[in-house]
Structure 1
Amino acid sequence: MEPNFCFGKIPENLENDRVKLVPFIPVEHADALFAAVRAHDALWAYLPFGPFASTDDLVASLVHGRIRADALFAVLDKTAPGAPALAGTIGLLDTSPVNLSTEIGFVITLPAFQRTHVTSSAAGLLLRFALDELRLRRVVWKANSLNVASVRTAERMGFRKEGVLRWDRVLAAGKTEGGNGGGERERDPKPGCLGRDTVLLSLCWDDWEAGAREAVDAIMQRSS
């Protein structure tokens, strides 16, 4: 974890009885993450980055190339045999102390932990941190418009859809999935790179105080 997150040091005790979030430290987590994802290219279908050729590529492209002042966590499952086991990543990005806002992103749940309690618990812990501890006003969730599962996860956690950002992202060269189906304009600066439309959802402090907090807590308790 880089020490320049805009709110200072990231706490190391974001956890419940099922999941623990710890700062993602490349020397501790990168090899295990790469080993878990190297045979699962489908994980990157809707993300603007990946797949990666090696641990060094993952660290250079994702951690150093994209995280910078953002906060990236390793998600550890406390219920798995031999726990805690690395179950994926999640993080905060585009955090603004000026506007009291942040985005939950870098959500990568390893195949063995998909459709379990892991994603909901990790997102719930970050919502508590952002809205209760940091006292932010707005938390955003963005998903590829084709990623129905991600949008459903966000809505289940209380996020409300605000709209679709057209041509929001330029996908990495070589990606053949996740594009918006649009053509390529003449003399495009990034020829061959697909464009992505993004669904924008948000959960704000007044939603949180009006019952979303209790709903998220209940989801974390009943998620299988």
Structure 2
Amino acid sequence: MTDAMHLDWQPVSSPARAPLNGHYVRLEPLQLAAHGDDLWLALQGPQSDPRLWDYLPYGPFPERTGFDAWLAANAASSDPLFFAVLERASQRAVGLLSFLRIAPRDGCIEIGHIAFGRAMQRSPASTEAVYLLAELAMATLGYRRLEWKCNALNARSMRAAERLGFVYEGTFRQHMVIKGRNRDSAWFSILDREWPTLAKAYERWLAVDNFDADGKQLSQLKTLHG
């Protein structure tokens, strides 16, 4: 290792099981008792997105018993560390997401297991939920690398990663077998040196004055971060 490659690096802390507050959403550590009813309605109810489970390694859940068992296991886990996403206006849980592959020694962490109800999709709420976790990891805790991975066939997730400022790094071929099917995994990342500029773009996009009276965005996030 050359001097130029040497890092005076110290391991960082794991994220705490604690709430995070934004303007549009509040993230709370996932709890079956507190969030189960709302999440069942948002993710499996009659108005839920039928495509939600297509690329996730679990679901859909035709019965509440199976859904509750899955939710309880997620709530008990520390890696992945799950958060319920509560809409501030209604105080209802409308989705969930997690940190995973948490590596404080290397300063690497991933955002994943994203399951947003239809009401969250293509909304400030979904963007702010990711922003709150990213800001915690990169600015507050000091991680060096934030990752996003998805099935390379999942066009929606690929578009979301790029819109959110993650940089595509390549595809791991035949990476996993999910629900009996091959998964090639697309890898994206944000590095610590990239986050301050990107965070400002998120904050400008999430500002109340970036939306008109009908809630339509005036500036696109991708335009703001370039």
Fold in common (TM above 0.5)? yes
1:159 offset after TM fit, Å? 0.6
1:1-224 equivalences under 5 Å are 7=14, 9-12=16-19, 14-38=20-44, 39=46, 40=48, 41-61=50-70, 63-64=72-73, 68-70=77-79, 71-79=81-89, 83-172=90-179, 193-209=180-196, 211-221=197-207, 222=210, 224=215
1:66 offset after TM fit, Å? 9.6
Separation of aligned partners in 1, 2:189 and 2:111: 10
What is the SS of the residue equivalent to 1:113?
Answer: coil
Q: Could you tell me which amino acid in structure 1 is paired with residue 84 of structure 2?
A: A
Separation of aligned partners in 2, 1:29 and 1:91: 15
Separation of aligned partners in 2, 1:65 and 1:217: 30
1:51 offset after TM fit, Å? 0.8
CA contact (8 A) 2:170 2:188 kept: yes
CA contact (8 A) 1:101 1:139 kept: yes
- Alpha-carbon spacing, 1:101–1:18, altered in 2? closer, same or farther (3 Å): same
1:30 offset after TM fit, Å? 2.0
What is the SS of the residue equivalent to 1:103?
Answer: strand
Separation of aligned partners in 2, 1:141 and 1:57: 27
1:62 offset after TM fit, Å? 5.4
1:8 offset after TM fit, Å? 6.1
Corresponding position of 2:221 = none
Q: Which has the higher contact order (CA 8 A, sep 6+)?
A: 1
CA contact (8 A) 1:120 1:219 kept: no
Separation of aligned partners in 2, 1:102 and 1:69: 13
Separation of aligned partners in 1, 2:201 and 2:25: 18
What per-residue deviation string (whole Å, max 9, x for no partner) do you get for residues 14-55 of structure 1?
A: 122111101110121123212332244421012121112333
- Alpha-carbon spacing, 1:59–1:167, altered in 2? closer, same or farther (3 Å): farther
CA contact (8 A) 2:29 2:75 kept: no
What per-residue deviation string (whole Å, max 9, x for no partner) do you get for residues 152-196 of structure 1?
A: 222122110001111222212xxxxxxxxxxxxxxxxxxxx1111
What per-residue deviation string (whole Å, max 9, x for no partner) do you get for residues 78-133 of structure 1?
A: 13xxx112220011011011111110011111012211112111000111000011
Q: Could you tell me which amino acid in structure 1 is paired with residue 182 of structure 2?
A: G
Q: Could you tell me which amino acid in structure 2 is paired with residue 217 of structure 1?
A: E
Separation of aligned partners in 2, 1:18 and 1:159: 22
- Normalised TM-score (structure 2): 0.78
Separation of aligned partners in 2, 1:164 and 1:63: 32
Unaligned 5+ residue runs, structure 1?
1-5, 173-192
Unaligned 5+ residue runs, structure 2?
1-12, 216-226
Identity of aligned residues (%): 31
CA contact (8 A) 2:98 2:112 kept: yes
